[in-house]
Structure formats: structure tokens, C-alpha cells
Amino acid sequence: LSVEYLSYNGILFPQADYSRETLNQVENEFQLLDDDIINVTYPKSGTIWMAEILALILKKGDPTWTQSSAVWDRSPWIETNNGLQRALKYPPPRLMNTHVPFQFFPKTFLQTKAKVIYVMRNPKDVLVSFYCFSLIFKTLKTPGSLQEFLETFLSGNVIYGSWFDHVKGWLEMKGRPNFFYITYEELQQDLRGSVEKICQFLGKELSSQQMDAVVEHASFQKMKENKMSNFSVLPDDIIDKKGKFMRKGISGDWKNHLTVAQNEYFDRVYQEKMRGMDITFPWD
């Protein structure tokens, strides 16, 4: 059966569990609160990883919550129908996720102290992860060949729109005291140091042992075994169990997938689209 997407103000979204009404409500009516924490990412950039880290920080390293509550229950995606309903009933302080580009984020953000953590990842690795995920996740269009998906990805004709626009839109929040950004690569290079920085941003004080526990339970291996985070509880009509959500969890896997020509093409588009950005990324 071929999958169709929903188009909302020029951006594509999956059909299942999404609607114009919910997207509109999130953008224009959803009231953020001062003690909210929202994990914002472009898809395949480390969303579940950050969601796990944040939940573990809130519980001071105790994994009981992350091991007993599915990631979409403990940190709902506010732009989905079910996620929004869950967020509306969530007793504060709330932990939430979203992939929406900045223009669809709750307008109330600008009047609150709600904290946003924005995670970015090398877009070449995002591309590969997105491609592999599209092969197994049944609410997404089948991606065709990697060459075809490369074109689709670079043109922004994928769910949640262009990676470039997402990053540029969100980084305009840079400098606000309630906005923190980090990359997947930094989490990889120094998870402990990253957790410390995140704690500082959130105003949470953890002991050294509690910090160790966060780092331990947020490791790729531990998360791969956690059925509340590894998508294994999803039914077969949503995810093909032949593939894995927790696929490789490394930086630079794009080198195993992109040809020299595809890489050069990517670089050309990247340079053109990111021209004028006054920020250096770990992959630059």
C-alpha cells in the first residue's frame, strides 16, 4: 500500500496520528509553562537519546522510569494527536519532544521560561539513518534508492521539511537563556561532559555517582536493551522487526554508504544552503 503524507503550510508530515487541527493547536494555542522541558530535534538526530538523558537526569540517574514507561509516554511528541492529548494531561513539570520546525513551535514559547534543548547531527549521518529508518517504518514512504532519497532529503521533500531550514530556524534562538543546543557528535565524544552541561542548563545538581548512572543508562548498549526506548514494543504493522531502530549509533556511518560523487554533491548543496551561518559544527 502506498503511503501518502499530510501537507501543512508547505511541510510534510506522516498521516498516522497527525492532523492539521493538532498542528494548528500546537502552534497557536498550546500553552507552554515555565517548568516545561522540550527536546527539539530534526528526525534521526538523537531524539530518543536526549529523551533518555533528560528522563534520567530528572530521576537523578535512577532508570526505573525509563525502563517502565515508553519514551512516547514519558516524553510525548506534542505535534501528534496522541502526544498533544498526553501533554495536556501531563502533571508539571513536563518533559516533551518535538521535531517541528521553529515556525510551528508553540508561539507561547517566547513569553515563557520553558527550556528547549536542540540536538543537531551531521546531516550526512541523518540522511543515512533516515534512509534506513524509512525502509522499516511503515508510516513513512518507501525511500527508493539511496540516490533517490539523497535528492528528496536535500530538496526538503521529506517529513518535517528541510534539514537546513530546521537548523537555521532553530538556531535563531541561540543566545536566549532558555535555549540550549548540542550536537550528537558532542554527546558521542564526551557524554559525561555533555550531561554536566545539560544539568547546568536545567539547574539540576547531581552527585558524581548519579551522573555516572545517567551516563551508564544512556549508553547505546543499555538503550538498545531497553524495550521502552528501542521501539521493539511497536506492532509489526508500524515497524518491520527485521530492521532495528537502535541501528548503529555511531558518527560517520555515511562514509560506508555515500559514493564519492554523492558526497561531493552533498557538500555543494550544504555549502550553498549554510552560507553565512556564523557557527562551526563538529562535522565542518
Catalytic residue list? 99
Beta partners for residue 12, in sequence order: 7, 159
Binding letters toward ligand PPS, positions 174-213, x by CB under 6 A: ----------------------------------------
Cβ distance to ligand PPS smaller for residue 220 or 281: 220
Q: Which of 93, 156, 169, 249 binds ligand PPS (CB under 6 A)?
A: 249
Angle at 200 between CA 196 and CA 205, to 5 degrees: 80
Residue 201 sits at the vertex; the CA angle it makes with 51 and 219, to the nearest 5 degrees, is: 35
Q: Of the ranges 85-93, 149-157, 242-250, 257-265, which one interacts with ligand PPS (CB under 6 A)?
A: 242-250
x-marked contacts with ligand PPS along 141-180 as a string, rule CB under 6 A: ----------------------------------------
217 binds ligand PPS (CB under 6 A): no
CA distance 172 to 42: 15
44 binds ligand PPS (CB under 6 A): yes
Supply the minimum distance, in Å, between the C-beta of residue 133 and ligand PPS.
Answer: 6
Check residue 234 for interaction with ligand PPS (CB under 6 A).
no
> From the CB of 228, what's the least distance to ligand PPS, in Å?
13
With cell 538523558, the residue in question is: 53
CB proximity list for 155: less than 8 A, separation 6 or greater: 162
Q: Is 132 in the site for ligand PPS (CB under 6 A)?
A: yes
Q: Does 101 bind ligand PPS (CB under 6 A)?
A: no
Least CB distance from residue 66 to ligand PPS, whole Å? 11
**Using the rule CB under 6 A, is 129 a contact of ligand PPS?**
yes
Say how far apart CA 225 and CA 59 lie, in whole Å: 19
Nearer to ligand PPS, 186 or 253 (CB): 253
Phi-psi region of 10 (alpha: psi -120 to 50; beta: other; left: phi over 0): left
DSSP 142: P
What is the secondary structure of 119-140 as a DSSP string?
A: EE--HHHHHHHHHHHHHHBTTS
**The one segment of 1-9, 247-255, 267-275, 276-284 that binds ligand PPS by CB under 6 A:** 247-255
The β-bridge relationship of strands 37-41 and 115-120 is parallel
**Which of 81, 247, 263, 269 touches ligand PPS (CB under 6 A)?**
247
**Which residue, 227 or 268, has its beta carbon nearer to ligand PPS?**
227
Collapsing DSSP to helix, strand or coil, 211 comes out as helix
Element containing residue 209 per DSSP (H, E): helix 208-217
Mapped onto helix, strand or coil, the DSSP state of residue 12 is strand
Separation CA 25–CA 112 (nearest Å): 17
Cβ closest to ligand PPS, residue 47 vs residue 66: 47
- CA dist 105 and 112 (Å) reads 13
Write out the residues near ligand PPS by the rule CB under 6 A: 41, 43-49, 125, 129, 132-133, 218-220, 223, 246-249, 253
